[in-house]
Amino acid sequence: MSYLTDASLEVLHMILYNVDQQSDLYQCALVNKSMYAATNPLLWREPTVFNRETFRESNIAACLLRSFRQARIHGFRATSLGQHIRTLYFRVDTLLQDLRQMINNVPLVDELIIHVITLKDKDMERIAIKCPQLKRLTLRYLMDAPDHFFEPLRHCTNLRELNIIDSIRLNYQLASLNHGQLEKLTLRPYVHTGDSFTWSIFGEVPTLNDLAIPTLTHLDMDSMTETYFQHYHSLSSPTLFPVLTDLRIAMPFYTATADDTVVSFFKAHPLIDTLTIQCMEIDPVIMISLAIDLVHLKRLTLIDNQHLPTFTMALPLVEKLSLRGCRMNVDSMVQMVMHFPSLHYIHVTNIIGLQSFGDGLPLDGLTIESRTHLTYLDLTSRDSVPDQLKEHLPRRMDGKLVQEDLEQIRKTAVGLLWIDQ
């Protein structure tokens, strides 16, 4: 009789690679030496510490450094434990000395998430040199790094995704990114709101205007879009990202911007098929541009845009439309649906809120269905979800849908109009 544990390490590794829970992998590692040898590299791929204490001893970097030292003390020298790590997260309380030692010991890491305020330009050079396989880099809470802080990233030839989040400033020199193969870029500056003022880091002309990344497909700009578009017309070439397909633009608190500039950007990037516009006043000119200039548009999300103008032109390819926090009544909803022939289902999270902007008549799912000619989904249970929309939807014991399931449907369902009123 043959047993699973008699299989080769390569076969065991392929099987265990499909185990999602870290706790389950840990139990597998305790079976015998063969299972331990096959499981150990997977346990180290994304090491985490569940203790939320702020003491250095509970920090993931300090824990890993202790593990490295223990391995050397006990003679485990065949393969460095750091060779197995692929994703590493540094909390805000991580000491720079611990971060630097860790970077020296993870040569095959492909994702770094760093929430260290005091990061220096020398640390970026260390990352570029010591982590040649780096594909995804997230930096958060940068305080006052020098202008050329990101210059070393030109040497990260495998870098495909860069996220700069909650930075106190973003007017760094980012032109070095033009020389790489970056595909996804997220820029979300820190925005402070008080009783009498609101400010973001873009008091100066943003150096985003120096960006022209030929490989970029995803761009996420938050709370800085207004300033960026103010200087967009001054650029020598309007087509900065020729293969851009996914765009998210967010204004700070219901800001209006020059329609002609936004339309010019859309004209210069016609391959966009996924678009999210948040907290921006949308005029009819922009609505027309969505239909005329973005001819490949398939997924459209409008968030907190207040009163939406009337759709007057068809968007035949749009197969997923999400409206969140946009004021509309039933009549405007019915008129809007006429211009989206690829939509087949509709879900409204707050029918009472939709009714408050209407004529006061009773409103329910059947009424919405009869007036829009779309199949209304109440999404109260798994059985209420059409088979076409159940892809990757887990089957739960009571058959109900939890918030995670609803988010999955909202993000992935094709042919669905989702309204959060």
For 287-333, write each residue's pLDDT tens digit: 999 999 999 999 999 998 888 888 889 999 999 999 998 877 777 88
Class of domain 1-43: mainly alpha
Report the DSSP beta bridge partners of residue 199. Answer: 192
In sequence order, what are the residues at sequence separation of 6 or more whose Cβ sits closer than 8 angstroms to the Cβ of residue 399?
381, 382, 383
**pLDDT at residue 53 tops 60:** no
pLDDT band at 217 (very low <50, low <70, confident <90, very high): very high
| Domain ranges within the chain, ordered by starting residue | 1-43
One DSSP character per residue, 272-316 reads: --EEEEEEE---HHHHHHHHHT-TT--EEEEEEEEEPPPP-S--T
Q: What average pLDDT does the segment 102-117 reach?
A: 91
Closest residue by Cα to residue 217 from 266, 272, 285? 272
pLDDT band at 339 (very low <50, low <70, confident <90, very high): very high
Ramachandran sector of residue 142 (left: φ over 0; alpha: ψ -120 to 50; beta: rest): beta
For 60-72, write each residue's pLDDT tens digit: 677 777 766 665 5
Closest residue by Cα to residue 202 from 228, 240, 235, 221? 228
Rounded to a whole number, what is the largest CA-CA distance in the chain?
78
pLDDT band at 56 (very low <50, low <70, confident <90, very high): very low
Q: Please give the residue that has the higher pLDDT: either 77 or 234.
A: 234
pLDDT band at 19 (very low <50, low <70, confident <90, very high): confident
Q: Please give the residue that has the higher pLDDT: either 420 or 69.
A: 420
Q: What average pLDDT does the segment 260-282 reach?
A: 91
Query: Considering the chain, what is the average pLDDT of its residues?
Result: 80
pLDDT at 133: 95
Closest residue by Cα to residue 310 from 279, 278, 341, 286? 286
Cα 20 from Cα 38, distance rounded (Å): 15
Q: Please give the residue that has the higher pLDDT: either 18 or 101.
A: 101
**pLDDT at residue 181 tops 80:** yes
In sequence order, what are the residues at sequence separation of 6 or more whose Cβ sits closer than 8 angstroms to the Cβ of residue 326?
302, 303, 304, 305, 306, 307, 308
Please give the model's pTM, rounded to 2 decimal places: 0.84
pLDDT at 398: 81
Q: Which residue in this structure is represented by tokens 């926090």? A: 325
- φ, ψ for residue 139 (rounded to 5)? -120, 130
For 353-410, write each residue's pLDDT tens digit: 555 445 555 677 888 888 888 999 989 888 889 988 887 788 888 888 888 889 889 8
